[in-house]
Chain A
Amino acid sequence: MISIDRLEGMIHVTARTSEGSEAERRAAFEQFTQSRLERAYRLAGLVLRDQSEAEDAVHDAAVQAWLHWKELRDQERMDAWFDRILVNGCRARMRRRSIHPLALSDPPEAPGHDAFTGVHERDVLHRALATLDADHRIAVVLRYVADLTPAEIAARTGEREGTVKSRLHYALRRLRAALDAADRTPGGLR
């Protein structure tokens, strides 16, 4: 359910953008982007795993948002719209970097003490996460960090909801396989 404050904010933004003066457009743009920068930067950072690239991705998304600011009439869709630009930019950057999956054949040696098992599992997962390609990593970040539903992710990635579910399923299965592989090694998880 939308809050009154957010609704008022949206109305405010809508009124500003619909009037269309340069100053008002700038004000609306600034209000929109500055309130979302932290979130956008964090998402981009988790996808790209690089601070500078995350900053550049957010900046590029802001540039595109400004270039097409006047075209956007449905203010309620602005968050998804901005995420969409950001996600596309992150995907492009990942692919340009030609990220290659890391080998999973050599999981880190597990500590024997239970107190460290959780930490070790997260390390295994962290390594396994690095093996996901751009599309799968984006889906995982949007689902488990941004807490978006598969339908919401689909609206941001341009995929069908079923495709998003497939990506999440694949990613989870692969991460579980990594844990299982670590478990099978001498001195494994349990």
Chain B
Amino acid sequence: MNDDRLEGDLRAALLQDDPGPMRDELRRRVAAVPDEMAPRRGLARLPRASGWAASLRAVAAVVLIAAIIGIALGIRGSNLGPASSAGPSATLTGPAATATGPAPSGSPAATPAPSATPVPTPITGEWRGLSWSAPAAFPNFEAIDDIVAWNGGYIAAAQVLGLAVQQPGFWNSSDGTTWTPLNVDTTAFPDSQINGLVPTTSGLLAWGWAGEPVCSGEGEGMTCEPRPVMLWTSPDGISWRQVADISRFNGATIDGITAGSQGLVAVGDTGWEQPAIWVSATGATWQRLTLPSATFKDAHFSDVRATASGYVLAGGIGNSAPTSGGVQLPDTGSAAVWWSLDGRTWTKGTVNRTDGVGTSLGSIYVGAKGMVAVGSASDAKGGDAAWTSTDGRTWQPIANAEAYAGVPTPAPGVPSVPSFTISDDGTHLLAVGMGDPVLGVSMWVSSDGVTWQQLPFSGATDTIPRWPGGTGLAIDTAYVVPGGLIVIGRGPFDTSKSVWRVTALP
């Protein structure tokens, strides 16, 4: 069946669910809305994320719609990403980023940075609760690319709004709530987008691509050419330089970069059936490894993470080439992992399959005592698949990945968590559920991905954004950082994002 016919039949099939004529009762109900709301007009509005957001409400629609497009954050196509691709063994020894830039804004200005509250000393031991700060205004990005803990503070990379071409910007913060734009020479970033930041032994590595995707075809058959890989290094977060030997990445797609005790490892491919691993000591120069076919036959990579003992690489074996600009749905292949002590010599691990005809392993999240891998499956249910591992070498499937959702299966009669995502800092695994009927967000912590503990909230919980009906995109991103989280979010009618520093409680 060709695409046109499929789409025609799809329309017809959809219309089988047509609810029938609209009843006049609905027209009357909607017409009565102003009257119904009249007695409540003096009640509190939906929570305001920030005073700054409120002051900008006058331009709500224009900015809201523009910003809405950037809501879906996360460098891996999910709403919430890990704090960084760097594992716990990444050494953070870069020199201080000088916070002398202008005030928070989409474009640099000349206002001195406000003073910031020092980062609290991270607690030791288990997290037993989370205390939310009052929200602060976050620079009005189109999309946050990454936030990493670095040099005793935090640094963020994001796309600047309102420019004709892609233009990344950098901000730093000492407390996670007050962000100061860094006066970066943007000529190093021609029409570029940053996908991730990785702390290295000599500063920071940024990776991404240049230009817009060039796609052909429509619908199911759409394919996109890989965009040129771009890598940048910086000793201080301000002075950035393109990696000189980028030719080693010609025609490549990078799926993940991580920093471990043995250096940097990047994984990706130079075309379907052509998996690639690159290694580097500092990020300035790179070497592409020759992959033994016995170990990597029909391999496709999706993520790499540093662990306490080395590196773990996630992907699949077999499966069909992706279309739609890189979207991969596993069909006939199987999930696969590889592990390495030094990033150069790799051994294929064991992924015990779930049911179904095809699986693929996507992202790896690292805790102190174990790891979680989230992927997808093409079985009868379709959708998410997940595994856990204590050593990165042998992975056990989660029996019901959709119910697993990173949290315990709710008891009968208890509303399930309607959505989830996982992030980590290499020590703490954090599962975020949206749609808590009271708070809008719920969070669980784990060190091994098997046992999860819900974290009660305290502090300014009334400022957590909630969408109508108690559900929706309550928060955009939760980055796990030392001692807690940096949470980015926005209420349904706020025109800019807000940021919360969420402190872990013992």
Interface presence of A58 (CB below 8 A): yes
Interface residue total, chain A, C-beta cutoff 8 A: 85
Q: Shortest Cβ distance from B462 into chain A, in angstroms? A: 18
- In chain B, positions 385-426 with a C-beta closer than 8 Å to chain A are 402, 415-416, 418-419
Q: Does A16 contact B (CB under 8 A)?
A: no
Residues of B within 8 A of A33 (CB): 30-31, 33
A-B contact list, 7 entries, CB within 8 Å: A66-B37, A73-B58, A74-B61, A85-B492, A101-B383, A125-B10, A158-B68
Q: Specify which chain A residues have a CB less than 8 angstroms from the CB of B17 in the assembled complex.
A: 45-46, 49, 126, 129
Asked whether, in the complex, the Cβ of A140 is within 8 Å of the Cβ of B383, the reply is: no
| Other A-B pairs, 11, CB within 8 Å; known A37-B27, A145-B11, A172-B219 | A29-B34, A34-B27, A37-B26, A45-B17, A50-B19, A75-B61, A95-B435, A96-B415, A169-B220, A172-B6, A172-B7
Q: Are A42 and B33 in contact (CB under 8 A)?
A: no
- Residue pair A98, B77 in contact (C-beta under 8 Å): no
Q: Given A59-B30, A168-B219, A175-B10, A160 and B22 touching (CB < 8 A)? A: no
> Is A154 interfacial (CB 8 A cutoff)?
yes
**A 80-105 to B, binary, CB cutoff 8 A, 1 in contact else 0:** 11001100110111011010110111
Q: How large is the interface on B (under 10, 10 to 19, 20 to 34, 35 or more residues)?
A: 35 or more
**Chain A residues within CB distance 8 Å of chain B:** 25-26, 29-30, 33-34, 37-38, 41-42, 44-46, 49-51, 54-55, 58-64, 66-68, 71-75, 77-78, 80-81, 84-85, 88-89, 91-93, 95-96, 98, 100-101, 103-105, 118, 121-123, 125-126, 129, 131, 133, 140-141, 144-145, 154-155, 158-163, 165-166, 168-170, 172-177, 179
Contact for A169 among B36, B60, B323, B381, CB less than 8 A: B323
Q: Any chain A CB within 8 A of the CB of B14?
A: yes
Distance (Å) between the CB of A104 and the closest chain B CB? 5
- By a beta-carbon cutoff of 8 Å, the part of chain B in contact with chain A is 1, 3, 6-7, 9-20, 22-23, 25-27, 29-31, 33-34, 36-37, 45-46, 57-62, 64-65, 68-72, 77, 143, 213, 219-220, 222, 323-325, 327, 329, 331, 378, 380-383, 402, 415-416, 418-419, 435, 467-473, 492-493
Residues of B within 8 A of A179 (CB): 1, 6
Which B residues are CB-close (under 8 A) to A62? Answer: 29-30, 33
- Whether A63 pairs with B36 at a CB distance below 8 angstroms is yes
CB-CB under 8 A from A88, the residues of chain B are 467-469, 471-473, 492
Instruction: Provide the bound-state CA to CA distance between A154 and B60, in Å.
Output: 18
**Complex partner residue of A159 from B22, B64, B72, CB under 8 angstroms:** B72
**A173 lies within 8 A of B329 (CB):** yes
Q: Are B58 and A126 neighbours in the complex by a CB distance under 8 Å?
A: no
- Which residues in B have their C-beta under 8 angstroms from that of A45? 17-20
CA distance A84 to B467 in the complex (A): 11
Selected contact of A101 from candidates B12, B324, B382, B493, CB within 8 Å: B382
Given contacts A59-B29, A160-B69, A169-B220, contact A92 B383 (CB under 8 A): no
The interface residues of chain A lying within 8 Å CB-to-CB of B19 are: 41-42, 44-46, 49-51, 54
Provide the bound-state CA to CA distance between A58 and B468, in Å. 12
Expressed in whole angstroms, the Cα–Cα distance for A125 and B77 within the complex equals 27
The 6 closest A-B pairs by CB, nearest first: A45-B19, A95-B418, A169-B324, A74-B61, A92-B471, A125-B13
Contact yes or no, B222 A92, CB < 8 A? no
Residue among B26, B68, B143 making CB contact with A59, cutoff 8 Å: B26
The prevalent SS among residues of A at the interface is helix
Q: Are A72 and B61 in contact (CB under 8 A)?
A: yes
Please state if A126 and B16 are interface contacts (CB–CB under 8 Å).
yes
Bound together, the chains give a CA A54 to CA B18 distance in angstroms of 11
B26 touching A154 by the CB < 8 A rule?
no
Q: Which of B9, B14, B470 contacts A145 (CB 8 A)?
A: B14
Residue of B nearest to A73 (CB): B61
- In the complex formed, the residue of B with least CB distance to A90 is B469
Residues of B within 8 A of A104 (CB): 380
CA distance A71 to B37 in the complex (A): 16
Q: Which residues of B contact A81 (CB under 8 A)?
A: 61, 64-65
Nearest CB of chain B from residue A51's CB, rounded to whole Å: 4
Query: A74 touches which one: B25, B62, B71 (CB < 8 A)?
Result: B62
Q: With a 10 A CB-CB cut-off, give which of B19, B70, B219, B468 has the most chain A CB atoms.
A: B19
Known: A37-B22, A98-B416, A155-B69. A89 touches B469 (CB 8 A): yes
B215 — nearest CB in chain A belongs to which residue?
A: A165
In Å, the complex CA distance between A65 and B380 comes to 39
Contact of A92 among B10, B72, B331, B472 (CB under 8 A): B472
B383 touches A133 (CB 8 A): yes
Name the residue on B nearest A130 (C-beta).
B17
Tell me which residues across on chain B come within 8 A of A93, comparing CB atoms. Answer: 469
B472 touches A91 (CB 8 A): yes
Q: Is the beta-carbon distance between B16 and A122 smaller than 8 angstroms?
A: yes
- Interfacial chain B residues near A100, Cβ < 8 Å: 402
Residues of B within 8 A of A74 (CB): 59-62, 65
**Distance in angstroms between the alpha carbons of A87 and B427 in the assembled complex:** 37
Report yes or no: B77 in contact with A154, Cβ–Cβ below 8 A: no
Taking the closest CB of chain B, its distance from the CB of A10, in whole angstroms, is 13
Q: Which residues of B contact A160 (CB under 8 A)?
A: 69-70, 72, 143
